[in-house]
């Protein structure tokens, strides 16, 4: 059964427009930086400081594809924005908005397998180096596609849209009147918590002395980005939805998607700085497929 239509707040149009502009900027950074990394990993390996692991390549490709698929929605928001009128079609908001919002919900999956790969490389480096790359790529892709399909399914459960109740909507979240993306938020929250636990396990292993060969800076920064830009916003969004019975986007705009793209942009820039650095002493052991036999100090 559909809920009552959300009240359209006057400030939300301006807030959503500003968030969309920032989101497009973050997407441009992430697509550019990550595409450059993947291109160099495939065709110009000598330009990189070390080889990218299979899990990191999958991580980059997922973000590139999802970020690219999300661009049409944000371009539509910007091009049809008007401070004094609503020029948006509820159906276009829904169909175009599914992709960036699904991207937001599934983004922790490649991070989890990337962290898992790092943990195994830390605990059993010799065993890890002898494994076939498919051991991490196949489960990552299979899990990603499965969860992506599940998220799309729950979004489609919102159909048919109640045009009368959604006619004044200016963003995707406003069109969600039935399930309100609660199952997707639950998936996002669980995966985010798993990422944090796995990252803390990695840091604990470093503390006990088993990780002297690996630089812990990459995983620390990745964990910080995941906490700040994914786990905390998704936890707030989920709690708000449960407590107040409406999507937080109806009050705060598309901030979860914006933070998700900010996370992607920060990771893209950081990994670029690591792999394209000119320093000879940096060995990115936690994200490289091969590790130096001499500890990096």
Q: What is the pLDDT of residues 149-177, one digit of tens each?
A: 999 999 999 999 988 888 888 888 888 88
For 10-287, CATH number? 1.20.1070.10
Q: Which of 115, 286, 271, 274 is nearest to 211 (CA)?
A: 286
pLDDT value of position 202: 76
Residues 6+ apart with CB under 8 A from 37: 48, 52, 60, 268, 271, 272, 275
- Report the distance separating Cα 63 and Cα 27, nearest Å: 9
| Helices (H), ranges, the chain | 10-43, 54-79, 90-106, 108-123, 125-129, 134-156, 163-166, 182-207, 217-226, 232-244, 249-252, 255-275
Q: pLDDT (tens digit, 9 = 90+) per residue, 134-152? A: 778 889 999 999 999 999 9
Residues 6+ apart with CB under 8 A from 149: none
> Measuring CA to CA, how many Å separate 58 from each of 38, 61, 113, 187?
9, 5, 9, 20
The 3-state DSSP class for residue 52 equals strand
Q: Which of 168, 194, 19 is nearest to 108 (CA)?
A: 194
Phi, psi of 52 (to 5 degrees): -75, 135
* pLDDT grade for 293, boundaries at 50, 70 and 90: very low
Question: For 38, what's the count of Cα atoms within 13 Å in the CB-facing half-sphere?
Answer: 19
* pLDDT grade for 5, boundaries at 50, 70 and 90: low
| pLDDT surpasses 70 at 292 | no
Q: Please name the helix (run of DSSP H) or strand (run of DSSP E) that holds residue 214, with its range, or none.
A: none
| pLDDT surpasses 50 at 61 | yes
Please say whether the beta carbons of 253 and 97 come within 8 A.
no
């Amino acid at each position: 059964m559909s809920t009552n239509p959300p009240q359209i707040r006057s400030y939300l149009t301006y807030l959503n427009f500003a968030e969309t502009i920032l989101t497009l900027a973050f997407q441009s950074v992430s697509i550019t930086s990550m595409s450059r990394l993947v291109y160099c990993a495939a065709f110009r390996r000598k330009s990189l400081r070390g080889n990218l692991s299979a899990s990191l390549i999958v991580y980059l490709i997922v973000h590139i594809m999802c970020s690219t698929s999300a661009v049409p929605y944000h371009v539509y928001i910007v091009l049809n924005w008007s401070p004094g009128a609503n020029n948006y079609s509820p159906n276009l908001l829904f169909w175009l908005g599914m992709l960036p919002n699904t991207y937001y919900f599934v983004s922790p999956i490649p991070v989890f397998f990337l962290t898992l790969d790092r943990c195994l490389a830390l605990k059993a480096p010799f065993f890890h180096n002898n494994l076939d790359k498919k051991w991490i790529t196949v489960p990552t892709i299979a899990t990603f596609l499965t969860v992506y399909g599940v998220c799309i399914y729950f979004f489609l459960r919102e159909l048919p849209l109640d045009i009368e109740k959604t006619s004044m909507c200016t963003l995707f979240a406003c069109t969600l009147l039935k399930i309100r993306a609660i199952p997707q938020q639950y998936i996002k929250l669980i995966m985010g918590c798993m990422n944090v636990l796995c990252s803390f396990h990695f840091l604990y292993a470093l503390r006990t002395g088993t990780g002297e060969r690996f630089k812990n800076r990459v995983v620390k920064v990745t964990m910080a980005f995941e906490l700040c830009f994914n786990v905390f916003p998704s936890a707030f969004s989920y709690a708000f939805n449960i407590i107040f019975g409406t999507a937080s986007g109806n009050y705060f705009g598309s901030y979860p998607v914006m933070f998700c793209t900010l996370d992607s942009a920060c990771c893209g820039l950081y990994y670029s700085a690591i792999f394209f650095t000119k320093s000879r002493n940096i060995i990115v052991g936690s994200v490289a497929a091969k590790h130096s036999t001499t500890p990096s100090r």
